[in-house]
Amino acid sequence: MRYRLPGTDVSQRLDEVRELYRRGLRANNAWRPAEAAKLLRRALRLLDRLTADAAVDAATLGADAVDADLADAGAAVDVEAADAVELRTRILISLAPADAEIRGADSALEYLRSAEALLGSVPDEVLRIELTAKVAGQRGLILGRASRLEESIASLSVAVAARERACAAGEPSHIGLATSLLNRGTMHTSAGHPGPAARDFRRLLRVVESGLSDGRSDRDELNLLDAKALHGLAALAWRVGDIPKALWYYEKTFARYSELIPSALPKLRMDQAEALLSAGLAEDAARQLDEALPELRRLRNHQNEAEAELLRATAALAVGDLAGVRNWASSAQRRFRRRGNQYLSSRAALIRLRATVDEALARDRVPANLAGKALALADTLARLDLIDQSGVARMLAVRLELRRGEVAEAVEHLALVPKPRRVTPVDHRMLRRLCLAELAVARGNRRQAFAQARAGLAELSRFRDRMGGVELVSGTAMHGRALGQLAIRLVIEHSRAPARQLFGWLERTRAQVYRYQPLPPPEDPVLAEKVSEYRYLSREVQQAHLAGRPSRDLAARHAALGREVMRLGWRDSPWGQPRPMAGIDEVVDALGDRAMISYLSTNDVMMALVVVAGRVRLVPLGDAREIIVAAQELHADLDALSPDTLSTLMAQAVAGSAVRRARQLDERLLRPLAALLGDRELVVIPTGALYAVAWAVLPSLRGRPLVVAPSATAWLAAHRSDRQDGATVLVGGPGLAAAVGEVNGLSKYHPAAETLNAEEATVQDVLRALDGAALAHLAAHGAHEPENALFSKLELWDGALFAHEVARLRRPPQHVVLAACELALSRIRPGDEALGFAGALLSAGGRTVTAAVTRVGDQAAAAAMADYHRQLAAGAAPATALAEAAAVDPLRRPFICLGAS
């Protein structure tokens, strides 16, 4: 039955409904689900009251009376006619996703069923096709958010087919078809179907291009879909392991979203964090998520908030923060359970399980029921079609059973783990290799264990070869850490002649960044522009601080831009073909009369692998934890001793403490090696905290030439690098009274040098002078940046000179002297990947970097550098020159030579 009301009244009330619907739609599009649901429910209630009022009038007056009233009024509206049905259907379709964010998928799907029931009342065929596509598309999205991926793809295929029918009927449907393709491509990506996903995204881009070329009025929507296609391509690249391409797409998407839809940025950051986790950059991923989570809470985007917490738990797991894993994963699991999302709830349970297993294995206390819990979770994940995650849970059970000595059970469980697929994450692949290696050990087959470790690390190397930029290359070492440690432990514990074999395994597991041939970096005008803006803001913040002006907002913009610049740097690919790892025989030949000490720690024991006179020896040194603490305390003492203005009494107290720590380290690290080393020049390969040791402070090394390198392969590459017959450059930055005099004073040792002082020392002029230089001396304040070592910096006249800018030079200077604070410091990642200002120079092709590992006073630095350059001018090699200069006052001259001499 139709119910009629006077036309003017109905039209006004329907206009109110339409306005509420439009506002709700805008809130949905801006990722404000709570606001959208509130507006759309109001629209439904108003539409329901309108229908109810019409029904009451019809019951009171009778149909004829209503018709007569209509005739007398001259106009009326059919409340349940096509336009009202269409409006109700659209409201229900739009309410479903908002409700899904608040109440979960089941409630949302009820709204879609109600909308679907109305479709038969739509007389216009083209409109019915459009609404059918919208219902199917929305259902596909909600099912996808609930992780019911195959159901989602099936529903989205219905939507695509409906859009295609509309196009065939002559209706312009660029927006609808493009949206359906975008959503289906996204679900194909999540389901691990890279081929279908790529086809959908490519077709989407063609549809958008066609729509834009037609000069349509909906260009804004088409541009947004184009941006979302970039987002989809980024996720697809991540799924197939192309992390640099994924990060490149993410940054392009970030720029487009910032302009078109800023409220989508937190979700973008989540996805980028997931890609960074794949590359082993857990700390960077954690920072991304910590930026996104507050905004997601503000937007009340509960689903994405829970997913971000799940990723945050994964990042915590990667860095060994087990308490953080439990907190983040438990919160995510509770949210997913409330929403009825068993798929993601089970994934959160898996992250918690991994933390529990890691802790049990580290303590060597494996509860009898823990393997059973892992297997039960594996079955649950398998039922949800989470193939890779199910395999991980089963592999955790394998490791637990092996630790308990239940080899037969472990074999049975491992046989059920599927072989890796194209989209299987690299960390899952490495876990499988680890299980196979540990199983071989349990069976007494060490040869097979080594074969599995070797194959796993080779696979990881192939993955690493696809990375771009030193941060991405270095981060991948995290995935092979356990395999490498197992192999090293096997060599030490079981081999009769471990030293030469151990050398090869150490080179496989540490400092892979330096294996790559540097290539001229690509021009990146976007990065250059952002760095220039960041440098300008740096000066503005500094000036505001000096003038006492408020700078909070300025500092916030500066920090945000700094993070953006760092993210842009992740996609750089200045690497060519990987060099082969250094072999022991070629290292022996290159060493000549030198000795090489490679420090390592296993089972909490520090050891030294010594290569000298053609022989390789392994020497135990004692408790690694005590040595690490002593190294950290010595570093703190030298830091405290650095100020030029330190009182005599304080200087004596700190110096006394530093001398005691230095003797303690000397006793542990060098005295056991004295008979092997003699008085030879040394190449030192540190591990962990030993990278921060000022080696000249140790009594056995005072006055002895030595260089520090991150691996034998890195040292050999630097040793073999071509010597340049370039210029000498002397740079004095601002704010260092002693430094200006120092640079002018150094001119007498290098009379032909180009000198850039004070306002002459701008970033561009310094970079120009450095390109192709044989020797570059940079005296300026500097800072090590632990969050992103490539953004360690020197302060020049017009702002910061970053490590990555020097590393991007086409001909990096052969020998760089950093007469500034702590710029030899490195961010140490798994595998002893050492990144920092000095490391960036070496990885880009430099030969020698001389720098301080702690803060150093201006006067002490100037005096040390005068002695150093006098020795260089007399023809001494860098290591010899520094040994002489540092021996004058080792505690106040904490410089080291990195690379080769």
- Grouping H, G, I as helix, E, B as strand and the rest as coil, residue 849 is strand
CB of 847 closer than 8 Å to CB of 865: no
603: alpha, beta or left? (left if phi > 0; alpha if psi -120 to 50): left
- Distance separating alpha carbons of residues 888 and 895, to the nearest angstrom: 12
pLDDT given for residue 68 in this prediction: 36
Residue matched to tokens 């430099």: 846
CB of 686 closer than 8 Å to CB of 896: no
- Distance separating alpha carbons of residues 397 and 429, to the nearest angstrom: 16
Q: Has residue 363 got a pLDDT over 80?
A: yes
Cα dist from 351 to 193, 317, 356, 358, whole Å: 24, 8, 9, 11
Give φ, ψ of 260 to 5 degrees. Answer: -100, -40
Q: Has residue 289 got a pLDDT over 60?
A: yes
Q: Has residue 468 got a pLDDT over 60?
A: no
Q: Taking residues 756-781, what's their average pLDDT?
A: 90
- Distance separating alpha carbons of residues 101 and 103, to the nearest angstrom: 6
Q: Give the rounded percent of residues in the chain with a pLDDT score beyond 90.
A: 35
pLDDT given for residue 53 in this prediction: 60
Most confident option among 199-203, 357-361, 485-489, 661-665: 661-665
CB of 431 closer than 8 Å to CB of 395: yes
Tokens found for residue 653: 């107290």
Q: Tens digits of per-residue pLDDT, 640-652?
A: 998 888 888 888 9
Strands lying side by side in the sheet with 799-802 = 782-783, 793-796, 799-802
Strands lying side by side in the sheet with 895-899 = 615-623, 605-612, 595-602, 682-685, 706-708, 895-899, 848-852, 815-818, 775-779, 728-732, 754-757
Strand partners, 897: 850
Which amino acid is located at 505 in the chain? W
Nearest to 391 by CA among 360, 433, 446: 433
Q: Tens digits of per-residue pLDDT, 591-622?
A: 999 999 999 998 889 999 999 999 999 999 99
Nearest to 456 by CA among 427, 413, 495: 427
Nearest to 257 by CA among 232, 275, 289, 276: 232
Which element (helix H / strand E) includes 220? helix 219-239
Could you tell me the pLDDT band of residue 59, with boundaries at 50, 70 and 90? very low
Residue 616 DSSP label: E
The sign of the CA dihedral 591, 593, 599, 600 is: positive
Give φ, ψ of 715 to 5 degrees. Answer: -65, -45
- The CA-based angle 454-459-462, given to 5 degrees, is 130
Which amino acid is located at 469 in the chain? G
Q: Tens digits of per-residue pLDDT, 524-537?
A: 666 666 766 766 67
Could you tell me the pLDDT band of residue 4, with boundaries at 50, 70 and 90? very low
DSSP for 325-343, written as a single string = HHHHHHHHHHHHHHTT-HH
- Grouping H, G, I as helix, E, B as strand and the rest as coil, residue 581 is coil
- The CA-based angle 520-521-527, given to 5 degrees, is 160
C-alpha count within 13 angstroms, C-beta hemisphere, residue 261: 23
Tokens found for residue 791: 């953004």
**Cα 525 to the center of its chain, rounded Å:** 23
Q: Tens digits of per-residue pLDDT, 582-599?
A: 889 999 999 999 999 999
Nearest to 179 by CA among 297, 237, 91, 97: 97
Q: Has residue 82 got a pLDDT over 80?
A: no
Query: In whole numbers, what is the pLDDT of the chain averaged over residues?
Result: 82
Which amino acid is located at 369 in the chain? N
pLDDT given for residue 156 in this prediction: 94
Q: Tens digits of per-residue pLDDT, 663-676?
A: 999 999 999 999 99
CB of 894 closer than 8 Å to CB of 693: no
- Distance separating alpha carbons of residues 901 and 899, to the nearest angstrom: 7
C-alpha count within 13 angstroms, C-beta hemisphere, residue 144: 24
- Distance separating alpha carbons of residues 203 and 200, to the nearest angstrom: 5
The sign of the CA dihedral 470, 526, 776, 638 is: negative
Q: Has residue 544 got a pLDDT over 90?
A: no
Tokens found for residue 384: 């949800």
CB of 800 closer than 8 Å to CB of 794: yes
Determine how many CB atoms are found less than 10 A away from the CB of residue 397.
30
- Distance separating alpha carbons of residues 440 and 689, to the nearest angstrom: 33
- The CA-based angle 365-366-369, given to 5 degrees, is 145
Could you tell me the pLDDT band of residue 693, with boundaries at 50, 70 and 90? very high
Nearest to 387 by CA among 432, 421, 434: 421
Q: Has residue 880 got a pLDDT over 90?
A: yes
DSSP for 649-679, written as a single string = HHHHHHHHHHHHHHHHHHHHHTGGGHHHHTT
Q: Has residue 337 got a pLDDT over 50?
A: yes
- Distance separating alpha carbons of residues 701 and 344, to the nearest angstrom: 56
Strand partners, 732: 757, 779
The sign of the CA dihedral 502, 508, 511, 517 is: positive
Query: Which residues touch 532 (CB under 8 Å, ≥6 apart)?
Result: none
CB of 400 closer than 8 Å to CB of 357: yes
This prediction's pTM:
0.68
More confident residue, 649 or 457: 649
Q: Has residue 377 got a pLDDT over 80?
A: yes
Which amino acid is located at 334 in the chain? R
pLDDT given for residue 677 in this prediction: 95
Q: Tens digits of per-residue pLDDT, 827-857?
A: 544 444 455 677 777 777 789 999 888 888 8
Give φ, ψ of 775 to 5 degrees. Answer: -140, 130
CB of 664 closer than 8 Å to CB of 643: no
Nearest to 838 by CA among 726, 709, 734, 701: 709
Cα dist from 548 to 327, 428, 535, 538, 795, whole Å: 41, 53, 20, 15, 21
Residue matched to tokens 């079955």: 379
Q: Has residue 75 got a pLDDT over 50?
A: no
- Grouping H, G, I as helix, E, B as strand and the rest as coil, residue 520 is coil
